[in-house]
Amino acid sequence: MRLVSDHVLKILGRGLLALAISSSSWATKAVPHLPPAPLCPKPVYLTFDTGHMGVAPLISQVLQKHQVPVTYFAAHEKTQEGDGSMGQHWAAWWKAQAANGHDFASHTYDHAYWRADIDAQNFKIRPSAGDQAGQNLSWRAADYCANLKKASDRLEAMTGRKTLPLFRAPGGKTSPALLQAAKECGYTHVGWSPAGFLGDELSSQTHSNQKLLSSALKHIRSGDILVAHLGIWSRQDPWAPAVLEPLVLGLKEKGFCFASLRQHPQYSKLLADIPP
């Protein structure tokens, strides 16, 4: 004896089918986009400016060994060997940095120091590299922008990667007028945190490597932008890799991680569309 009629079974079947379709539709609805989780609760952002390049190969070895991403701010500076930091001699090294996933930005092509404002669109500039090194010059905003772009263009030619729309003024010396002029031609300035000044420009006699390392490990805080150089002429006891590797290991032991400026809250939106 059939306990449920065929008619009832058909009704139940249609209901179950409708329920299945409804459930499937709910399951495939797009969920709200969630922002990516931070790389770690305590990020720091390591950057390097160019220099005499004598320690550049050692620095890149440490970065690759410990998988530390950095942003290089490059100018065409005098080097211990070769034809300048962005010359042909170092082109293969820059290409390798791109292959290792690092980012690049302008440091002005002629390592051009801002000295003073003449007015909102004209500045006193003193390059430390290039044909006019050591001269006191008057640059228009357009001249400064052209020098920023010249470094960016050279980096892109060497690395095959688009540079970030960022720059670092030599010595970190700027004015509101200079920053506005650079912003109008597409460049945003990146300085460094007080504790992020790693001290490789200081005298070895008064600031030993151990002293610099101890100070950095004591004072660096989450969110800090750190700065060092690819070789400093005046320092007798090279900072890298003597300080760099123990600094990386020491910060990791303290729970820090090394993140790209692409993840920095001040620059992440600006850099979101720049291909890696």
Partnered with residue 44 across adjacent β-strands are 258
Bridge-based pairing state of the strands 166-167 and 137-140: unpaired
For all residues of the chain together, what is the average pLDDT?
89
Lowest mean pLDDT among 34-43, 65-74, 218-227: 34-43
Cα dihedral angle (257, 258, 263, 265), rounded to 10 degrees? 70
Task: Report pLDDT digits (tens) over 182-216.
Answer: 999 999 999 999 999 999 999 999 999 999 999 99
Q: What confidence tier does 37 reach under pLDDT thresholds 50, 70, 90?
A: very low
Interior angle at CA 39, CA 209 and CA 66, nearest 5: 40
Which contiguous run of DSSP H or E holds residue 140? Answer: strand 137-140
Whether 6 has a pLDDT exceeding 80, the answer reads no
pLDDT number for residue 39: 61
pLDDT of residue 40: 83
* Distance, CA of 40 to chain centre: 17
Question: In the prediction, which pLDDT does 27 show?
Answer: 30
Q: What is the pLDDT of residues 157-167, one digit of tens each?
A: 999 999 999 99
- pLDDT class for 260, splitting at 50, 70, 90? very high
Give the pLDDT confidence of 100-136 residue by residue, as tens digits: 999 999 999 999 999 999 999 999 999 999 999 999 9
Higher pLDDT, residue 218 or 1 = 218
- Written as one letter, the residue type at 33 is H
For the ranges 34-38, 86-90, 97-101, the lowest mean pLDDT is seen at 34-38
Q: pTM for the full model?
A: 0.86
Whether the per-residue pLDDT at 69 is higher than 70: the answer is yes
The mean pLDDT of 239-268, rounded to a whole number, is: 97
Find the helix or strand (DSSP H, E) in which 229 lies.
strand 225-229
Please say if the pLDDT value at position 228 is more than 80: yes
10 pLDDT band (50/70/90 cuts)? very low
Rounded CA-CA distance 268/171 in Å is 24
- β-pairing verdict for 112-119 and 122-127: antiparallel
The tokens for 27 are 């399951």
Helix crossing, 91-99 with 141-159: angle to 10°?
70
Q: Which residues pair with 226 in a beta bridge?
A: 46
The arrangement of secondary structure in 43-271, i.e. its CATH architecture, is Alpha-Beta Barrel (3.20)
Query: What is the pLDDT averaged over residues 238-263?
Result: 97
